[in-house]
Amino acid sequence: MFMGEYQHSLDEKGRIIIPAKFREALGSKFVVTRGLDNCLFVYPMEEWANMEKKLKALPLMKADARAFTRFFLSGAVECELDKQGRITLPNVLREHARLVKDAVIIGVSSRVEIWSKESWEAYAAQSEASFNEIAEKLVDFDLDL
């Protein structure tokens, strides 16, 4: 399970350090793709295989399903850590997440997310303001907080 929040910076070559706490669970190879809310999703290979199965099960005849699958898979890239624990993010993914320099890497259960610092701070401030309201809407999912 991935959890926690870490601050890192991209270097001039588009490389970013993956937090040491995430490296073992991600494995030697993992997938990075476009995520929702202008962040990047990072999946261990086993979770990626589960996601691929779910995407393949979407109805081909539905335009929304085709559009989401195209968007999600076309940005996907298999990554390997270098000796310093870094990965290189392709330009298309950096642009999607608005990553220029400062980044926030968070653990979200079965995946990791990479955010630009500015986007994460804006998202966190907005979400924090409505956290109680969101929690009330999730009461039906048996989250006994």
User: Residue 86: is its pLDDT beyond 90?
Assistant: yes
Q: Given a cut of 80, is residue 141 above it in pLDDT?
A: no
Q: Give the confidence band of 136 by pLDDT, cuts at 50, 70, 90.
A: confident
**Mean pLDDT estimate for the chain:** 93
**Predicted confidence (pLDDT) per residue in 19-68, tens digit:** 999 999 999 899 999 999 999 999 999 999 999 999 999 999 999 999 99
Cβ–Cβ under 8 Å, residues 20 and 81 = no
pLDDT score, position 133: 82
Which of 112, 3, 93 has the alpha carbon at shortest distance from 48?
112
Tokens of 67: 């559009």
Number of helices (H) and strands (E) in the chain: give both, helices first: 6, 8
pLDDT, position 41: 98
Domains and CATH numbers, the chain: 2-141 (3.40.1550.20)
Answer whether 112's CB lies under 8 Å from 2's CB.
Answer: yes
pLDDT band at 128 (very low <50, low <70, confident <90, very high): confident
pLDDT at 22: 97
Output the six-digit token pair for 30. Answer: 């993992």
Contact 77, 34 (CB under 8 A): no
